Amino acid sequence: MDFSATNPNLLAVGLYDGTVAIYNVRNTGNDPVLDSLGEIRATGHESNGKHSAPVWQLKWIEKDRGSGDEKGEVLVSISTDGRVTQWMIRKGFECADLMKLKRVSTKQGKKGQETQKKTEAFISRQAAGMCFDFNAKDPNIYLAGTEEGHIHKCSCSYNEQYLDSYFGHTGPVYKVQWSPFLPDIFLSCSADWSIRLWSQDQLQPLINFHSSTKAVMDVCWSPKSATVFGCVNEGAIEIWDLNVNTLDPIIVSVPAPGVQYSSVIFAYNSDCILVGDSEGQVSVFQLRVMPTVENNQVDILQKLVNQNMAVKGNNKK
């Protein structure tokens, strides 16, 4: 779910049955003000826009390109039906597919580099979408993570092909997020127990982070420090600082027996994180004794990226 920035009273929710609904939290009733089931209720027929599988993520996106209906805030959703869909609320609840995700295979290149190759050998051509994130510097560009473990860079201007595909994960990608400080860098986490740091110019991960043998359910950059991110796996909350250590987290917190963490986000106005769990609860944790944020924190992250890109380059020779 996600709150609108333009209209903070509007809350968008994606459901397991494929429905996308918008609620006005100022209303006292329980019914959504808009949803993708509207056409079914009105005509008795399935809407062409409704997702046919669970909606795993949706987000309000501010689009500053185009004119008229193409500008302003739109809602984007991704589903395991393979569709990345844009919803507009100005005229009812219209939708258009930004991309229909398709499966790709990987083939070794001359220097050990994996390249994208389409194949007809798949039982299903459809790739199940799990997560996405739009680039803050260029809101026309977004990343889409899939159930097969691939991450695709896409453009809103092209709905038939990927700009690039990133291979490294061996399980479903649960979260992908661009760095708020370096627009070419992003993080991903997966059921394969790993978190990976990427540059959009490199199709292979720059750094792989492994600290447990449990699926990593969520990852989130700190809004205050360029080198800090948090993650939750089924057994712990972890806070990492790449300026301190790239092998182990600096903070680990284990949940109560029987509880599994599922989501994490940093608070913007305090040194806290909010964590969701399998019991349906949201807990607030205060981050104490955190390393001092350096004035050159962006330069530190850029240096780390450059060093790992140099290592990757030397390994290919």
**With 0-12 CB in 10 A as exposed, 13-18 as middle and 19+ as buried, what is 42?**
exposed
Question: What's the mean per-residue pLDDT of the chain?
Answer: 86
Terminal alpha carbon distance of the chain:
45
145 bridge partner residues: 131, 151
Which pTM was predicted?
0.86
Q: What contacts 24+ positions apart, CB below 8 Å, involve 60-65?
A: 60/2, 60/3, 60/4, 60/5, 60/6, 60/12, 61/134, 61/139, 62/5, 62/6, 62/139, 63/139, 64/139, 65/139, 65/140
pLDDT over threshold 50, residue 43: no
User: Residue 66: its pLDDT value, please?
Assistant: 46
pLDDT at 69: 52
Tens digit of pLDDT for each residue in 197-225? 999 999 999 999 988 889 999 999 999 99
Average pLDDT over residues 261-276: 93
- Cα atoms in the 13 Å half-sphere on the side-chain side of 51: 32
- pLDDT digits 0-9 by tens, 89-130: 876 788 899 999 998 876 543 344 444 444 445 556 888 999
